Structures are given as C-alpha cells and as structure tokens.
Chains A and B, each alone.
Chain A
Amino acid sequence: MDRDLEVLQLVIVIALFLLVSAMGFLAARWRRAQTLDNLHEWGLGGRSFGSWITWFLLGGDLYTAYTFVAVPALVFGVGAVGFFAVPYTIVVYPIVMLAAVRLWSVAHAHGYVTPADFVAHRFGAPWLALAIAVTGIVATMPYIALQLVGIEAVLKAMGITGEWPLIIAFAVLAAYTYQSGLRAPALIAFVKDTLIYVVVLVAVIAIPIQLGGFDDIFGAAEQKFASSPAPTDSVLLGDPAMLGYATLAFGSALALFIYPHTVTGLLAARSRDTIKRNMAALPAYTLLLGLLALLGYMAIAAGVTPVGDDANTIVPLLFDAQFPDWFAGIAFAAVAIGALVPAAIMSIAAANLFTRNIYATYVNRAATPEQEARVSRIASLVVKAGAVAVILALDPQFSIDLQLIGGVIILQTLPSLVLGLWRLALHRWALLAGWAVGLATGLWMLYDTPNATTGKEHFGGSQYALSKLGIDTDWTVYTGILALLANLIVVVVGSLVLRAAGAPRDRDATRPEDYEIDARDPRLQRPPATAEQGAAAQ
C-alpha cells in the first residue's frame, strides 16, 4: 500500500537529523586533543571515555536501530522465538566481564587499536591476525548495511519513497565521522538514547492501555498464530525450539563481544572500572529491548499490516497509528538517528582493522600515525559507500542473509581472541586450522538450511536441525555454536599434537601482568602510536 506523505513527522525528523549532524561535526572539538591525526584519538576517542559516555556509546553500539526494528518484527512474525534477544542481552554481560577487562588492560599496555592487533602480538602471528581482521571486516559490513534497513523502515512509514534520503543521510554521516572519528557517535549517542528511552517508555505504557491491556494483546497474538499455517509460530516455545532458543541466545552473546565495533567501544573506555561498571549498567538497555519486543504483539493486536511485505515497518507503523503525529515524528527520528550511531562506530572499527592489520602490516610497514589516521578516515568512507551500494543495488534480504552468516563467522575468531586472553598453551597453527574448520562447517551448515516458510532452499536461517547429524530428534541448535565446537576441537587437539611433536612455542610478546594493568598504573607506559613501534617496543 502507498502511504501519504506525513509532513509534520518529516519536519521533526529532518530537524533532529540536522541537530545531530551539527553535533557530529562539532564533536571534533569535544574533549579536545592536540591532534586527531592518530588512531588513538580519531579511532578510539583518546581512550578516555568515562562511565557515562561509555554507557551511551556502548548502548548505542550494541542495541542498534536494526535491533529495535527487527526484534519486534520477529516477535510479530513468529512469537516467542523472537524474544531470544532478551536472554541474549542478559547473559552477555556476566560472560564478557572478565574477558573485557583483560582485553582492555593488555590493549592499554601495548597500544592495540583492534582485536587483531592483540592476536598478532599474543601469538607472534601476523597472518593469524590477518585472518581475524578479514573475518571482522566481512562480518561488520552487512551489519552496517542493515542499519540502513532501520532508516528505510522509517522512511516507508512516513510515505517517502526513493533512494535519495538514504544516500544523503549516509553522506552526512560519512562526512562527520571522517572529521571527528569516534567522538561523533559518542556525542550523538546522548541524543539518540534519550529519544529512544522516552519513546519506548511512553509506548509500553500508552499503547497497552489504548489496546485494552496485555490480556487482549496476547489473546490477539494467540489467535493470529493459531490461524497461521506455519507450525513454529507461537506465544510460547515449542519443545523442539527450546535448545535452539538457548543456544542462539548464548552464541549471540559470545559473538557480540568479539564484533570489532564492540571492541572499539570497550577500548575507548578510560579504565577497567569504567568497563566493569558498564557491565552492570548496560542491561538497562536490555529491559528497553524486552519491552520493545512486546511491541510486536501490540502491532498484532492493533491490526497493523506491514508496508509491502516488509515486516520491519511494523514498529514505525504502530507508532504512526497509536501516537499523535508530532510524537510519532520523534519516535521515527529516534529510530533513524539510532541507525547512525552504530553505523559510525562499525565503519570506524572496520576501517581501523584495515589500517592496522592490512595496510600498516603488509602495505606500508613504516606508516606514521598521521598516515594511519588518513588511511582509516578514507577506509571509513569506503565502508559506508559500500554499505549504501549493497542496500540499494541488492535485495535487502541479501544483507539479512549476510548478517546471519556474519554472526556465525565472527564466532570463529573467539578462540584466538578470547582464549588468547588467558595464558593457555594454544598453538597459532592450531588456532588458524580451527578458524578455517569453523568457517567451513559454519558456512556449509548455513547453506544446508532450508526455510519452509519462505520456500528458500539455502541460507534459510541460523538453526541447524540435529536430525541432519544423524540424531533422531526434531530439535535444532544455533549453527554458530556447532561451528564453534568444531573449531574448538581442532584448536585443542591441534595444540596438543603440535606440542607433542615438539613444534616451537609461540612468540608471545605480552606479559602476565599486562592483563591486569589499570589506568595510571606506573607500569603503563605511553602506548606506542603505530603498529610498527608496537612491534618494536617489546
């Protein structure tokens, strides 16, 4: 169906977009550094963000606009399974707390900018770092593209068609990220999250009252799922879905921490305490996300039908139907701006990986900090242009498939990155072999997964049927976890075999105390400014 153009909503969205754009450019002067021409300043905001800034930054980074649009859409479509986002974002913090502070410490001790910097140093293996960096970039790209899906959903709900608004929004975003680096999304995150909190709190109080309470809302959902032909949609989990639900939540939590953009947010924090405090405070966003997920059911009860067959439009449409125009405008702006913050951080993270672990390691080994910053800035532009091109030129479904793959493949960097934080006797060749095996099995299983509902034969979802492994059951498991298991088996067995065969030990350039070091620690020297100096400083 075509929607009429909503002028008041459009004016509010444009006004707020202009506001955050101005903030994005001015962010270059915020917490002013002598120069932004090195990656510690441009790419990590000077590594000086305190608890509040880190909370907004990581909140804006991890809980993206796509999440806010896609999770309710999933609940709208399939019910309880979509709620996995809540256990996922509950368990992520207790799981990553220890690893996050150790990574922060060792990165501060040695001036690492990317997760792959650490892997290169820890295992004396630049090619293992290259594998980690390329995996990170490949997994991040579709994630950036999906942020555009969030903006698109809002534009559709406002009755705007055409590609220009998207291109302009991303061009402006690219310009201020180029200028201000990580300071831009950090500053904009304040506006984004304030808007999101206000909108969601109003929505989850006002809309259920308008719809006659949660009894009616869940009643409507039960009725919809009962009358649909699909067997798996329901307000509760079916028995076969339970293992899949738990493993998807667990696997997604493991993946979230090792995405490059998460690491970027963590490394920008000022101290270990900043990170630990945030692990306790970030679940506030989980509560928000859980309440948002319930909007999927509210959309069912309100009789919302998606624009075209794009289920991602249901949240904007629900706002449009239930709120006065001006407040719907604010809600739309919140979603659209919510896409800009993670897109900026992700593009910076991908650009830093390219600069440090490809450019400064293989192309120009004598790169100065200024050259690194320039390369990273340009790479961040390329990454965003690529994301826009992918969304406009290809079916958005392609990005969704890619992001599904992204979660599975990023998990294959976990053994090198996370187990590397503890001084286990893992061997770099075994880690590389595990990574390759994990990738191959993960991609094969994804390829081997049909989707009965959409009629796709391949890449139909991230749940792998255990019956395909010869187990007589209708249960499913998250593909990423299975691939990670294969990966870990190869890593452990391979390390044992290599050690028994007398393979030389890794050239580990880190020291045990590096993992416990804190800000203002006398042992902490000024971080080396380039990858080259980092390698020379040992």
Chain B
Amino acid sequence: MRGDRRHRWYWLLVVPLIGVLIPPIYNYDDPRLIGIPFFYWYQLAWVPISVAITALVYRRTRRGD
C-alpha cells in the first residue's frame, strides 16, 4: 500500500500535457507580453511549470521517503 500511495503522485505528470497539447486554449494573440503574442509566451511559461511538477514528483517518489 505504501508504494501505491507514492505512485499517486505520478498522476501530476498529466498536467503539463493538458497545458500545452490543447492549442485552442492558447492560440491567441492577446494578451501580449513585452510584444510577444500570448501563443508564444504561454507555451514558454509552461517550461518552468513543467519543471516544478516533474521535480515535485521526483521528490515525492524517491525511495526511502
């Protein structure tokens, strides 16, 4: 059971997929950030978010926790 509870954290890994694989969410020009259309900075913003999620999952699923 202990293993199962740890494995639940892996579901978080689905979040970045939802964030960037559904273009209708972000295929817009506005709002711009320093002149960059939303389409571009939104997807770039997912890089740090995805890193944070992956790092969290890594920490929570380490052996011996």
What is the interface of chain A, defined by CB distance below 8 A to chain B? 80, 83, 86-87, 90-91, 93-95, 97-98, 213-218, 235-237, 242, 245-246, 249-250, 273, 276-277, 279-281, 283-284, 286-287, 290-291, 294, 518
Contact = CB atoms under 8 A, between A and B. Distances in A.
Nearest to A94: B13
A93 B54 contact: yes
Contacts of A283: 47-48, 50-51, 54
Interface of B: 10, 13-17, 20-24, 27-29, 32, 34-37, 39-40, 43-44, 46-48, 50-51, 53-55, 57-58, 61-63
Q: Classify the interface of chain A: helix, strand, loop or mixed.
A: helix
B28 A94 contact: no
Nearest to B20: A87
| Most interface-central of B23, B24, B34 (chain A CB within 10 A) | B23
A290 B24 CA distance: 20
A236 B39 contact: yes
Nearest to B19: A90
B47 A245 contact: no
B5 to A, nearest CB: 16
Contact of A246 (B16, B22, B50): B22
Contacts of B22: 246
B36 A287 contact: no
Contacts of B58: 97, 273, 276-277, 279-280
Q: Classify the interface of chain B: helix, strand, loop or mixed.
A: helix
Enumerate the 8 nearest inter-chain pairs by beta-carbon distance, A residue then B residue, closest first. A214-B35, A215-B35, A94-B13, A87-B20, A280-B55, A242-B23, A280-B54, A276-B58
Nearest to B55: A280
Contacts of A281: 51
Given A90-B16, A93-B50, A245 B35 contact: no
Given A97-B54, A279-B58, A236 B28 contact: yes
Contacts of B29: 235-236
A280 B13 contact: no
A273 B62 contact: yes
A276 B57 CA distance: 9
A236 B37 contact: yes
Contact of B57 (A97, A286, A518): A97
Nearest to B21: A246
A290 B36 CA distance: 12
| Most interface-central of A214, A249, A281 (chain B CB within 10 A) | A214
B40 A286 contact: no
Contacts of B53: 94
Contact of B17 (A80, A91, A273, A286): A91
A157 to B, nearest CB: 26
A277 B62 CA distance: 10
A236 B61 CA distance: 39
B43 A86 contact: yes
| Most interface-central of B13, B29, B40, B48 (chain A CB within 10 A) | B40
Contacts of A250: 17, 21
B50 A94 contact: yes
Contacts of A214: 32, 34-36
A83 B39 contact: yes
Contacts of B35: 213-218
Nearest to B50: A90
A79 to B, nearest CB: 10
Contacts of A273: 58, 62
Given A218-B37, A283-B51, A242 B24 contact: yes
A95 B54 contact: no
Given A235-B37, A236-B27, A286 B21 contact: no
A226 B15 CA distance: 35
A90 B23 contact: no
Given A242-B23, A276-B58, 5 more contacts: A90-B43, A90-B47, A98-B13, A276-B62, A283-B51
Contacts of A294: 36, 40
Given A213-B34, A236-B29, A237-B27, A287 B47 contact: yes
